[in-house]
C-alpha cells in the first residue's frame, strides 16, 4: 500500500513524468537515442553504446527499493558494471552530486568517485527511468584516474521495487500464508514466456523464495512439469536461518497448473491462479503450494 500511495504522490510531484525531451548537452560522439533500454557513455575517451560494443546485449536495469531512490546497473558481456544510485528524487530534472550522501557511482569495483547523476524522466506507470551521468575517480588498488563522461540511459525498466506493482499470494502446505515482498516478472525480447520471481522476509530471520516460469503468457491453463520438460515450472526454497529448511522443485512426482486469466499487452500486466506440489529435498516429503493468486503484475523485457 505504501508503494501505491507513493506512486500517486510522485505523479503529482513530477510534472509530465511520462516523458521528457532529450537533453541537449550529450556529446556528439554518442548519438541521441529515443529507443527504450539504450544507454551510452565515454570511458577514458572511448565511446561505448549498448548497440555497438562489448556492451551490446547487456542488461540495463533500474531498481527502486526506496520510493525516492533509484539505482541503475549497466553491465557488459565481460561482467563489468557501472553502478549508479541517486536518492531523494521528488522533482524533475533531479541532479545530485556523487561526492555527497545523495548519490553514488562506481565502475567495476569500489573507489573514490566524484561527478553528477541527473534523472530527467521517471514514469511510475510504465516503470521506466531516463537520465544522464558523469563521474571520475580512482578504483581501489589502482592509481590511474578513471573518467566516465557524457553518460545517458533511456527508459530503463524499473523491474524490481516497481511502482504500483501487483501482488502474489499463496498458501504453503495448507497453513502458512506467503505474501510476496519483492516481486518481479521478466521476459526476453522476442519470446512469449515469463519468469516470476518473488521473495518474502520471514520475521524469523530467513527468506522464502518462490519462482514460477511459464512458456506462454497467452490466456489459458498450463500444466507444471520438471524444469527440462518445457512446461510450466515451479520452485520454492528458503535461505538464511530457517527452522525447517525447504527446497522444493517440480519433479516426476510433482504436479500442478497455472491459469492465466487476464493479459494486457499494452500495460504489460497479467493475472493468474496457480497450484503445484513437489518433493522437499531436505525432508523427502510432499510439499504443496495451493490457492495461488497473481494479480495485475507488470512484466518487463530484459
Are 71 and 180 within one domain? no
User: For residue 261, what are the domain limits?
Assistant: 167-301
Q: Is the N-terminal amide bond of 11 cis, ω within 30° of 0?
A: no
Q: Exposure of 111 by Cβ count < 10 A (0-12 exposed, 13-18 middle, 19+ buried)?
A: middle
The tally of domains found in the chain comes to 2
Residue range 31-61, pLDDT digits in tens: 456 788 889 899 999 888 887 667 765 666 7
Average pLDDT, the chain: 83
Q: Which residue, among 132, 137, 162, has the nearest Cα to 147 in the 3D structure?
A: 137
pLDDT, residue 12, reads 33
Residue 164, all three cell numbers: 504500483
Among candidate residues 142, 160, 178, the one where a domain is terminated: 160
Residue range 114-130, pLDDT digits in tens: 999 999 999 999 999 99
Secondary structure of 169-221 as H, E, C letters:
EEEECCCEEEECCEEEEEECCCCCCEEEEEEEEECCCEEEEEEEEECCCCCEE
Are 178 and 88 within one domain? no
Q: Exposure of 29 by Cβ count < 10 A (0-12 exposed, 13-18 middle, 19+ buried)?
A: middle
Are 209 and 115 within one domain? no
Beta carbons of 96 and 86 less than 8 angstroms apart: yes
Report whether pLDDT(276) > 90: yes
Three-class DSSP category at 123: strand
Three-class DSSP category at 267: coil
pLDDT, residue 259, reads 97
Band of the pLDDT at 26, cuts 50, 70, 90?
A: very low
Among candidate residues 112, 145, 160, the one where a domain is terminated: 160
Report whether pLDDT(195) > 70: yes
Give the containing element (helix H, strand E) for 300: strand 286-301
Are 281 and 178 within one domain? yes
Among candidate residues 134, 160, 186, the one where a domain is terminated: 160
Work out the average pLDDT over 152-165: 90
Are 256 and 138 within one domain? no
Are 189 and 90 within one domain? no
pLDDT, residue 64, reads 65
Beta carbons of 40 and 50 less than 8 angstroms apart: yes
**pTM for the full predicted model:** 0.81
pLDDT, residue 51, reads 73
Residue range 241-255, pLDDT digits in tens: 777 889 998 876 678
Work out the average pLDDT over 186-199: 92
Report whether pLDDT(11) > 60: no
Instruction: Check which CATH number belongs to the domain holding 136 and give it.
Output: 2.40.128
* Residues in contact with 43: Cβ distance below 8 Å, sequence separation at least 6, in sequence order: 107, 146, 147, 148
The phi and psi torsions of 127 (rounded to 5 degrees) equal: 55, 60
Are 128 and 210 within one domain? no
Amino acid at each position: 500500500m505504501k508503494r501505491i500511495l507513493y506512486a500517486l504522490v510522485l505523479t503529482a510531484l513530477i510534472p509530465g513524468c511520462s516523458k521528457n525531451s532529450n537533453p541537449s548537452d550529450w556529446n556528439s560522439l554518442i548519438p541521441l537515442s529515443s529507443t527504450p533500454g539504450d544507454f551510452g557513455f565515454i570511458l577514458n575517451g572511448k565511446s561505448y553504446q549498448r548497440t555497438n560494443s562489448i556492451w551490446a546485449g547487456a542488461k540495463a536495469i533500474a531498481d527502486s527499493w526506496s520510493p525516492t531512490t533509484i539505482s541503475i546497473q549497466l553491465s557488459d558481456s565481460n561482467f563489468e558494471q557501472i553502478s549508479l544510485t541517486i536518492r531523494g528524487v521528488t522533482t524533475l530534472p533531479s541532479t545530485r552530486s556523487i561526492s555527497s550522501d545523495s548519490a553514488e557511482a562506481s565502475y567495476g569495483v569500489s573507489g573514490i568517485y566524484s561527478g553528477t547523476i541527473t534523472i530527467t524522466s521517471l514514469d511510475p506507470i510504465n516503470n521506466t527511468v531516463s537520465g544522464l551521468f558523469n563521474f571520475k575517480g580512482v578504483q581501489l588498488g589502482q592509481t590511474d584516474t578513471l573518467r566516465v563522461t557524457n553518460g545517458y540511459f533511456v527508459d530503463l525498466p524499473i523491474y524490481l521495487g516497481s511502482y504500483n506493482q501487483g501482488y502474489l499470494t499463496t498458501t504453503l502446505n495448507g497453513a502458512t500464508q506467503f505474501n510476496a515482498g519483492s516481486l518481479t516478472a521478466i521476459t526476453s525480447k522476442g519470446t512469449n514466456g515469463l519468469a516470476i520471481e518473488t521473495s518474502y522476509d520471514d520475521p524469523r530471520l530467513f527468506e522464502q523464495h518462490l519462482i514460477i516460469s511459464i512458456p506462454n503468457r497467452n490466456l489459458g491453463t498450463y500444466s507444471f512439469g520438471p524444469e527440462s520438460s518445457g512446461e510450466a515450472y515451479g520452485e520454492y526454497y528458503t535461505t538464511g536461518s530457517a527452522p525447517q529448511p525447504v527446497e522444493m522443485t517440480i519433479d516426476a512426482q510433482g504436479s500442478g497448473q497455472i491459469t492465466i486469466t487476464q493479459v494486457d499487452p499494452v500495460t504489460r500486466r497479467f493475472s493468474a491462479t496457480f497450484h503445484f506440489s513437489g518433493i522437499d529435498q531436505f525432508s523427502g516429503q510432499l510439499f504443496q503450494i495451493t490457492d495461488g493468486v497473481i494479480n495485475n503484475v507488470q512484466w518487463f523485457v530484459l
